[in-house]
Chains A and B, each alone.
Chain A
Amino acid sequence: MRDSLGAGGEPAGAGREPAGAERESDDFGGLTALRMAPNITAAEATAVFRRKLPGAHVDVHEVLHPFWWTVLAVETRGIFGRRRAKGSGQRINVLVNAQSGKGFLADFEPRGTNVDAVQWRQSLDSQSRPSPVLDPADVTRAARSLVRAKVLKTVKLGMGISIAEVAGPRGVLKPNWLVSGANAKYSATILVDGLDSSHYIVRVEKTSAD
């Protein structure tokens, strides 16, 4: 993925704009990344931490995680494609984790400020886990596969399904909060989702003997 972007290759679907974002020319294959603003404040992230470790002294700072964002349009129709099912058309935002390749359906449209592509790449390099290199086709494939699985779960095989890419992959930086701290019993580091305040325990150590 990094290679293909660095070489200035056009990601799949380039030329069609993801809604709510602009594309500007730079060394990111003609694209900028989008940096989303957190919905959760540092104080709220601290509160999440203190619910887990009451009375802890904490250190909190924002971290960004690189995702790919692509928009797919889904239509279902009768088995022979003659009639469209009523209300079948929908536009689905899919975020693909640039590190793991895992796609997620988003019930919102990512919004934020345009940032330099280098920042997106640095964010990818800063991840803890070495990851397989994805290319834009992999991103699109992962997104389509996820959307197809989601649609087939409900409409099954009786309807025709067409999935079209409305906008090709674009880099997105998703905000999270990294909160570290300790109370009398434990010291811990927790990653708090910057969008929905869910959390993940990164590290926990017992500080007291009991």
Chain B
Amino acid sequence: MNIETWFLIIYFIAMAGIGMWTLKIGTKNSEGFLLGGRSLGPAVTALRLQSSSMSGYMFLGAGSLAYTKGYFSLWYAMGDIGGGVLNLSILGRRMRKLSQILGSLTSIEYLEHRYPSKWIRAIAAPIALFCIFFYVLAQFIAGGRGLEMVTGVPYGWALFIAVGVIVFYTFLGGYLAVAYTDFVQAIIMLIGMVWILIGTLQAVGGWTAGNQAVGEINPNLLTMWGPDGYDSVQWGVIIGAVLVFSIGYMGWPHVNVSHMAMKKPSVARAASMYATGFNLLFIPAPYIVGIMALVILPTLDNPELAVFAVADTVLPDFAVGIVMAGIMAAIMSTADALLLQSGTIASQDLMQRFFFRNLSDRQSVWVSRITVLLLAAIGYLVAVNDPPAVAEVVIFSTTVLGAAFVPVYIAAAWWKKANVPGAIASMLLGTVSSVVWQLAGLVDVTGVDPMGIGIVCSTVGIIVVSLATQKSHPVPEHVVAALTETDKIGPIPAHMLTGQNDALAAQVPKNA
């Protein structure tokens, strides 16, 4: 066994120890009155938000895009860097406050409470489940590729081990699920990525020398227009590339749930600062490493392995072990969180809500377990036989989630006239238009990205249908009242808001 594998094993045991320790501490502490899990501060909120959405894609997809398209890939990075801030600024505070007033525990439940109809959940839950599966698939492939690189075992076996470990984590109590370990994973991801970047720049003789060497391969790779130059630019695709990770991010139910766990709405402002800091340090790194990989490893068979292969080449063995262990743990932790969320959607949002209202807790947990095992088995079969490119999988699922949910989430918090038919029309139009656009190959024909089409369709859908059905489907009075309460965030002096307990908003008497 090589030194990298030893580091990997030691690292997993250490993380397991932290998980068990925090679980033990966690059960000793009382939850306290009115906590309901909403206790996260700005740093943990921001880093959880980032780490739960980036691991697999950043280590495989981003490097691959950069290796094949050069600096054109930074269009995606630009969206990524701004995505966290946009999400926290537009949705953060309002979603935190509204979800508490409406009494929502999950982001799908929040949509159903804001747009009170069972059809909202019936439509939103399968879309979310479908897209989350693709995101989990990306983590599986990343985990398999990473293990293959570190241990040297064939991809099929490495994938099997990675999926097995992820499922094991999902089933084992406490472990890696607590916010502290998510926070630690994000820090390790950051340190690992920056370490690889520094090693890479040293290996190519510095930034300028590296760029000169890339320019000798193909000068167009140094431009933002792609390897074929400005003449081949499709502006619709570029706009889609920026949109997909900037506003598309706001449509991810598994990311938006972080807003609801904030200690208080004002955490969003500080969290957006942390998110920006993290993004500026972390996001450009895999893209730059991917571009420089063209110089260090010009004959790489699989561009997806650019970041892993460069790390293996430029770092000393012990550093490769530490960095790869951190990266693998981050990938597995993300996959584990997503699988757990899929299980919850299947048991709570679908089975219990629509089929078996009196599902016992034991049955509910078994539905979650079977869902997790089923998704893991299907994911393994897809990933082992004909693994799709991670970047494509993640961009596709983000596109569909963004097109389906962004206008619905934004209107939920900002527009009092957004009603049930409008939300249903928006989710359906966004999903169908983006999927059809992608599958019918209309991107190449029209030069317009499915994200752009999907967002336009779902935005027009919610506006037109909501306005047309105001009389037949008015927004319920208690929802309007909750939105009015949410509007109060602005004018109150900051010193008075400090330490405010928003749960009390739902206890204000009529004569106040």
Binding site for B on A (CB under 8 A): 52-53, 63, 65, 76, 79, 81, 87, 95, 97, 99-108, 126-132, 142, 144-146, 148-150, 152-163, 174, 176, 178, 186, 188-189, 191, 193, 195-196, 198-204
Contacts and interface: CB of A to CB of B under 8 A. Distances in A.
Contacts of A163: 361
Interface in B102-150: 102-103, 105, 116
Contacts of B497: 201
A126 B511 CA distance: 8
Interface stretch (B26-34, B225-233, B238-246): B26-34
B504 A176 contact: yes
Contacts of A127: 507-510
B382 to A, nearest CB: 22
18 contacts: A76-B173, A102-B36, A102-B506, A103-B103, A104-B503, A105-B33, A107-B30, A128-B510, A130-B481, A154-B177, A154-B178, A156-B171, A156-B172, A160-B362, A163-B361, A191-B512, A196-B33, A201-B496
Nearest to B498: A52
Given A104-B33, A130-B477, A200-B508, 6 more contacts: A100-B506, A107-B32, A129-B485, A156-B170, A199-B504, A204-B491
Majority DSSP secondary structure for residues of A touching B? mixed
B378 interface: no
Interface in B87-104: 100-103
Contacts of A162: 361-362
Contacts of B177: 153-154, 156
Interface stretch (B196-204, B276-284, B363-371): B363-371
A82 B36 CA distance: 30
B103 A97 contact: yes
Interface of B: 23, 26-27, 30-37, 100-103, 105, 116, 170-175, 177-178, 340, 343-344, 348, 361-362, 364-365, 368-369, 372, 476-478, 481-482, 485, 488, 491-493, 495-497, 499-512
Contact of A195 (B33, B482, B509, B510): B33
Given A154-B26, A157-B372, A162-B362, A131 B478 contact: yes
A81 B30 CA distance: 26
Given A126-B511, A129-B478, A129-B481, A188 B174 contact: no
A146 B508 contact: no
A107 B103 contact: no
Given A127-B509, A128-B512, A155 B37 contact: no
B506 A176 contact: no
A70 to B, nearest CB: 15
B103 A101 contact: yes
Contacts of A131: 478
Nearest to A164: B361
A204 B494 CA distance: 12
Contacts of B175: 156
Nearest to B22: A154
A161 B37 contact: no
Contacts of B502: 200
B508 to A, nearest CB: 5
Nearest to B476: A132
Contacts of B493: 186, 204
A201 B492 contact: yes
B477 A157 contact: no
B508 A128 contact: yes
Across the A-B interface, the 5 shortest Cβ-Cβ residue pairs: A102-B103, A200-B504, A198-B501, A107-B30, A155-B173
A102 B36 CA distance: 10
Contacts of B101: 100
Contacts of A126: 509-511
A161 B23 CA distance: 16
Contacts of A155: 173-174
A105 B32 CA distance: 7
A203 B369 CA distance: 48
A93 to B, nearest CB: 9
B28 to A, nearest CB: 10
B362 to A, nearest CB: 6
A142 B103 contact: yes
Contacts of B372: 157
Given A105-B31, A127-B509, A158 B172 contact: yes
A201 B481 contact: no
A202 B512 contact: yes
Contact of B482 (A129, A152, A160, A188): A129
A153 B37 contact: yes
A52 B500 CA distance: 11
A140 B221 CA distance: 61
Nearest to B27: A154
A81 B505 CA distance: 42
A147 to B, nearest CB: 9
B173 A158 contact: yes
A39 to B, nearest CB: 10
